[in-house]
Structure 1
Amino acid sequence: MDSLTQIVLGAAVGEAVLGKKVGNKAMLYGAIAGTIPDLDVLASHFTDTVSALAIHRGFTHSIVFSVLFAPFFGWLVSRYESYKDIKGWAWLFFWAFITHPILDAHTTWGTQLFWPFDLRLAFKTIFVIDPLYTLPFLVFLILAMVQKRTSAKRRLYNKLGLIISSSYLLLTFLFKWIAYNEFEAALTNQNIDYIQLDTRPSALNTMLWSANVETENAYLLGNYSFFDTKPISFETYPKNHEFLGDLAKDEKVQRMIAISEGWYIISKEDDSLYFSDLRFGLLSMEPNSQNFVFKYKIEKDASGKVQFTEKPKDKRDGKKLLSELWIRIKGN
């Protein structure tokens, strides 16, 4: 999830663990702890694109990280805070650390919660930024923050924030189930033979859902809003995996295919090859758009090694997409 959401979650967890004993400092350290797992993004400054993608939401988002580093941070904070209970601080950091990847596991990218096992947990029930999850949570956190440390209202507000946000998170599984059934029915009604079907919510909401459908030689992409009145339509994107040629045997290409979980297409533009990760969809609602959220140019460096370079995103595309999504959410 986005940084603000993780800060709010971490602060609320910190309050639940130590708020009664240390007041707003519990929220402060919980907020800090809630951001620490995302420091793995710094890897992009020290390694290549493929390695950085493989590292992202890996070790720092695991149970192992939470268990190993919570006692260290607990000891560190107790060294200079007046509250000297190492176990209490360690417990705060553990819960702030572990709830971070559990929440991230609900997004499309997912997390390697069970690192070092090569298993990425991704429920794909919520977008990385969802105001309906974050804003009510933030309001209750602020209400709790302004109460006295020992106030019953403080604990009530914080508890309500945790309950309401968690309830919404559970509700997204129901939304996903409904959307999945709609896509499945549409494929059946249109006599489309497919290998697998994958669904996810669109940006900033859980009312409009997107689907990736794998067929033998192509992927079908479709959208469904809970307010739709017309049948679901799908657009076809040829896989073009044969464009890779001998590059398909390259180690980095194989790693990118694994990272994308096989949901990728290859395209040729100006004599260059591009790898598009279909799991995160398009930056446009226009028919037959090739403007994928994550698109990488495949090229060889001076030494002949394959490199992936992410295609820069245009902020104007993001603004345009939000406008298109708002219209599409209202129904087809």
Structure 2
Amino acid sequence: MDSLTQIVLGAAVGEAILGKKIGNKALLYGAIAGTIPDLDVLANYLTDTVTATELHRGFSHSILFCLIVAPLLGALVNKIERRYNLGLKPWAQLFFWGLFTHPILDAFTTWGTQLFWPFQTRLAFNSIFVIDPLYTLPFLACTVALMFYKRNSKTRRKLNQIGIIISTFYLINTVVIKYAVHNRFEKALNEQQLSYSKISTRPSPMNTVLWNANIETKDSYLIADYSLLDTKPISFTSYPKHREQSQAIRKHPKVQRLIAISNGWFLMEQKADQWYFYDLRFGLLPKKDQTESFVFAYTLKEDNGALTVQEVPKSSEDATYAMSVLWQRLKGN
């Protein structure tokens, strides 16, 4: 999830654990704990694109990381905040749960988390987008409001409980909606007599009303969207795999790593002697010039056997236009 959401979740966890004893300091240290796992983005400045992508939501989002880092941070803050005389254990508990709830929430997104690192299994329930105002804003309102009450106030505890309950209920509800939408896509495929081997569904940006689906067939991928407000049948668009043309470059180790990152949901295309790799899991981005591109696209540049991978940048103008298209599509077909 986005940084603000993780800060709010971490602050609420900190409040639940130590708010009654240390007041707003519990919110502060909980927010810090909720932020720490996402420091893995620093890898973008320290290593190449493929490695940084592999590291994202890896070790820093694992149970092992929480078990190692929580007592270290607990010991450090216990020294800094000696006046509370709490000892190591309460601080370690605050940091553990602040760190641990971060990857648990991220597991509901499309990218998922390697919670059981060093095992490569990535948990990705695909039920909530990385930014969802309906999850974050009520939670944020409760967390901000409780700050104005004394640490031993019953209202303060009640507000924190309400924020946690509402956000948790919403998160569970996204799974229920996903199940219903997934069945709707499968029904449409069967009605249109389209054979397939795999299907993956996920919500579109910032809502759980409009959903996207990737469907794998023998020679192509079918991509479709479905709004809970739709009245017309689902329409599927086919994107040929063209695996034969990309056979040679696909053997390169970096391309193999990109394929692993995408969980096999990928297309490759050559345009003007330039190869592109598309990660299909995050859907298409409509552009102002009436074309569209995949949200995560990479250029592959070969030079004497070496391969340089770079992510294709996305413009703010296209992002703004895409949101307007999304809003119109969300209202139904």
TM range (shorter): over 0.9
Q: Secondary structure at the match of 1:241?
A: coil
Superposition deviation, residue 245 in structure 1: 2.8
Unaligned segments of structure 2, at least 5 residues: none
Separation in 1 of the partners of 2:291 and 2:177?
A: 26
The residue identity in structure 2 corresponding to 1:326 is W
Q: Secondary structure at the match of 2:199?
A: strand
Separation in 2 of the partners of 1:65 and 1:97?
A: 9
Aligned to 2:132: 130
The residue identity in structure 1 corresponding to 2:261 is I
Aligned to 1:261: 263
Residues 209/106 of structure 1: CA separation in 2 closer, same or farther (3 Å cut)? same
Aligned to 2:321: 320
Deviations 1:97-148 (A, max 9, x none): 0000000000000000000111000000000000000000001111111111
Aligned to 1:14: 14
User: How many residue pairs end up in the alignment?
Assistant: 331
Separation in 1 of the partners of 2:74 and 2:244?
A: 53
Separation in 2 of the partners of 1:305 and 1:57?
A: 27
The one of 222, 225, 228 aligned to 2:227: 225
Question: Does residue 1:305 correspond to 2:306, yes or no?
Answer: yes
The residue identity in structure 2 corresponding to 1:37 is P
* TM alignment of 1:134-283, pairs within 5 A: 134-283=136-285
Superposition deviation, residue 241 in structure 1: 2.3
Confirm or deny: 8 A CA contact 1:285 1:325 kept in the other structure.
no
Separation in 1 of the partners of 2:187 and 2:288?
A: 24
Aligned to 2:43: 43
Q: Secondary structure at the match of 1:230?
A: coil
Separation in 2 of the partners of 1:200 and 1:216?
A: 22
Separation in 2 of the partners of 1:176 and 1:188?
A: 18
Q: Secondary structure at the match of 1:291?
A: strand
Separation in 1 of the partners of 2:90 and 2:109?
A: 30
Unaligned segments of structure 1, at least 5 residues: none
Residues 297/317 of structure 1: CA separation in 2 closer, same or farther (3 Å cut)? same
Aligned to 1:58: 58
Separation in 1 of the partners of 2:136 and 2:168?
A: 11
Q: Secondary structure at the match of 2:286?
A: coil
Confirm or deny: 8 A CA contact 1:235 1:287 kept in the other structure.
no
Where do 4+ consecutive residues of structure 1 move more than 6 Å?
285-288
- The TM-score normalised by the length of structure 1 is 0.97
Separation in 2 of the partners of 1:255 and 1:293?
A: 18
Deviations 1:251-280 (A, max 9, x none): 111111010011001112222010000000
Aligned to 1:108: 110
Quote the RMSD (CA, aligned, Å): 1.4
Superposition deviation, residue 290 in structure 1: 4.3
Separation in 1 of the partners of 2:122 and 2:288?
A: 31
Separation in 2 of the partners of 1:264 and 1:290?
A: 16
Superposition deviation, residue 287 in structure 1: 12
Confirm or deny: 8 A CA contact 2:287 2:293 kept in the other structure.
no
The residue identity in structure 2 corresponding to 1:38 is D
Superposition deviation, residue 304 in structure 1: 2.6
